[in-house]
Structure 1
């Protein structure tokens, strides 16, 4: 049986193509949704871009017929803009205030009542707003979150490594030959640059850390070079060794790192970037950037020039640089950075339209990127550059994203099969025992 889906504004602002994701079912867009989208179309950000995209898509659909009567989609479904069913009389007993949310609820509720009288189609309100879904439930109206934009459940997200148990003979063979065909040591399908933590199946303490090569045909023993200190930073656990291996590889233009706060993502990346830029001169510049998304209430406009405005947003980066350069005052770091000239710290706001060749690019807090923003950034990367995307998908500050639909998760899952990318999920916090406790329990 066909279902009538009533879309909330936030669904279309999250994914402008959401109206095409319901196959043969009927899509209803309340007129008030168009009003809300119209109020967002002048925003110079992702929300504004999506609002303008929705307007263009609806305008294109008008060519197929009168959109207020409903037009047929290629999937067999229909989409229409609902101008009727706006009465709030039935909602006044529950919600007295007249808001746009309540007007959308009224449309869905009145359509449902009409369909039940005809014993016709079920009605479902689709909204990204949890409280909107709660209000719908109060009214006896079925509601759902829009899940089509989710890439993967976080618990099933690609970790970049697997733990396998093998015989002691296979471990000995790996240590002796350093490189073995994949099917000779483990069975199953593996991805390029995936790591393997191999343990003795008999229960002995013998183990090995190996890495699948770029065409997933051989398993290579991880070299002890990954244990060496880089700019005073030495990997403290297995996952940090894996991360450092990927960060120091000159044949991997993309590295993604995922992990809770304090697992060392930023510090390892900066150390690797400084080593390859300043010591080995593999890149002309180290570019460090992050999205300008506040935690909590925004403090508003900041005084000063661009560098002064960006300093509060970029302070976490400067904290790590102060540690690496062993400086005790910010003035010392400023002098060092000015003298070197090859380290650039800036916000992602200014990256559109650029081409960035021969640079080591670190993008922190990438979980606050949308899928479109992540694509925009990666398409800015020029020849000879390496980009590192890192963040914690469980710490989302962006109002329209969650841990299943953000740009970082999207990049990890979409590019994990490519030989030009590598990924590791960092598990253990190394900032402090208290920071690890807070990350685990809060």
Structure 2
């Protein structure tokens, strides 16, 4: 039996094409949702862009019939704008305030009550990204669901970029002797290109080795780079060693790093970028950028020129640069950067429309990017450039994103099969014992 799905505003603002995600069922958009979408269409961010897209999309349906009646969709379902079920009588004793959320709940509840009176009545389901709206729906006996179609994966099995496998000590010895080994000798399942395997002795000895799957996916090879340190930074665990391998390889123009706070993502990327830009001259410039998304309450407009306005947002980058340059005095870093001229710290606000060739690009806090924004960034990458996206998918400040539908997770999952990309998830915090404990406990 077909169902009726009532969409909350946040579903449309998160995914304008969500209208087509409900197969051969009926999609209902309450009139109050259109009002909320209209109030957002002047925003100059991703939400505003999606609001304008939704407006144009719904407007395009007008040629198919009257919107307050049932309009057929390409996927076999239907769409209508709901105007006649706005009565608040059923909810006035429960929710006194006539907020937009409660008005949407009223539409869904009244539709549900009407369908219950019919012999072949349909099941009515409210779809919302807002957890409290779903809680309220449950409280009034209304079915509700989260919108999950925008998720890259359906569970928490996000690609980590490495595996631990147990094998015979003789196999590990032969790997060290030859520098490579057939992957089929270690695992029976398919692997991804540029995936890392950490081999350990199945009998429990201390013998171990790390290798990277080649582009044919048939061989496991030794890592190319074996630096004692890079700009004073030494890898402290196997994942950091793997990260350095990806960050230093010229044949991998896309690298993604994920991990909790303090695992070294930014520091490793900056050290690798400085080595290849300043020491080796492999790239003309090191470009570091991050999205401007505040944690907690926004501090409002900032005084000064662009550089002064950006400084508070970019301070985490400058902190890592001060550590790498061993800065001792206030203002010394600015003098160093001005003298070098090959390091650019920028906000992602200014990246649209650019073409960025022959540069080492680092995008920090990429988990706060939407799929559209991350596509915009990756399509800016010019010939001869390398881009590093990094962040913690569990630490998101964007109101409509979660660990499974953010831009960083999207890129990790979509590119894990590609030969030009590499990924590794950093596990162990190396900032301090307190930072690691806080990341685990809090």
* TM-score of the pair, normalised by structure 1: 0.98
Whether the aligned pair in 1 keeps the contact of 2:393 and 2:406 (CA below 8 Å) is yes
Partner of residue 429, structure 2 = 429
Separation in structure 2 between the aligned mates of residue 227 and residue 155 of structure 1, nearest angstrom: 34
Which whole-Å CA distance do the structure 2 matches of 1:46 and 1:198 have between them? 44
Give the equivalent residue in structure 1 for 2:83: 83
Per-residue CA distance 1:228-278 (angstroms, 9 max, x = gap): 200000100000000000000011000000000000000000000000000
1:215 counterpart = 2:220? no
Farther off after superposition, 154-163 or 426-435: 154-163
Mapping of residues 15-414 of structure 1, within 5 Å: 15-119=15-119, 120-153=121-154, 155-223=156-224, 225-414=225-414
**How far does the alpha carbon of each residue in 1:114-155 deviate from its partner, in whole angstroms, 9 at most, with x for none?**
000114001000000011111111111111100111112563
Deviation at 1:227, TM superposition (A): 4.5
| In structure 1, distance between residues paired with 2:170 and 2:61 | 65
In structure 2, the CA distance between the partners of 1:267 and 1:153, relative to structure 1 (3 Å rule), is farther
Cα displacement string for residues 202-244 of structure 1 (whole angstroms, at most 9, x for unaligned residues): 2211111011012212110235x33520000010000000000
Whether the aligned pair in 2 keeps the contact of 1:322 and 1:330 (CA below 8 Å) is no
Of 367-376 and 146-155, the range deviating more from structure 2: 146-155
Q: Cα distance 1:307–1:188, how it changes in 2: closer, same or farther (>3 A)?
A: same
Distance in 1 of aligned mates of 2:140 and 2:271 = 56
Task: Specify whether residues 384 and 168 from structure 1 end up closer, same or farther in structure 2 by C-alpha distance, changes over 3 A only.
Answer: same
Count of residues in correspondence between the two structures:
441
Superposition RMSD in Å:
1.0
Note the C-alpha offset of 1:419. Answer: 0.3
Structure 1 runs (4+) deviating above 4 angstroms are none
Structure 1 residues 92 and 258, CA gap change in structure 2 (3 angstroms): same
Q: In 1, distance between residues paired with 2:423 and 2:134?
A: 36
In the alignment, the residues of structure 1 paired with residue 391 and residue 165 of structure 2 have an alpha-carbon distance, to the nearest angstrom, of: 27
Residue number in structure 1 paired with 2:439: 439
Task: Tell whether the 8 Å contact from 2:3 to 2:122 is kept in structure 1 after alignment.
Answer: yes
Q: Which residue of 1 aligns with 2:5?
A: 5
List per-residue Cα deviations over 1:160-205 (Å, max 9, x = no partner): 0011111122111111110222223432200000000001112211
CA contact (8 A) 1:355 1:381 kept: yes
Contact 2:165–2:186, Cα closer than 8 Å, also in 1:
no
Shift in Å, 1:329: 3.0
Q: Is the 8 A contact 1:226 1:244 kept in 2?
A: no
* C-alpha distance in structure 1 between counterparts of 2:336 and 2:154, whole Å: 43
CA contact (8 A) 1:393 1:403 kept: yes
Deviations 1:337-394 (CA, angstroms, capped at 9, x unpaired): 0000000001000000000000000000000000000000000000000000000000
Q: Secondary structure at the match of 2:314?
A: helix
Q: Per the alignment, in what secondary structure is the counterpart of residue 155 of structure 1?
A: coil
TM-score in terms of structure 2 length: 0.98
Q: Unpaired runs of 5+ in structure 2?
A: none
Q: CA deviation at 1:330?
A: 3.7
Partner SS for 1:313? helix
Deviates most, 145-154 or 405-414: 145-154
Q: Which range moved further: 166-175 or 147-156?
A: 147-156
Which deviates further from its counterpart, 346-355 or 153-162? 153-162
Alignment check: 8 A CA contact 1:227 1:235 kept? no
User: What 5-or-longer segments of structure 1 have no aligned partner?
Assistant: none
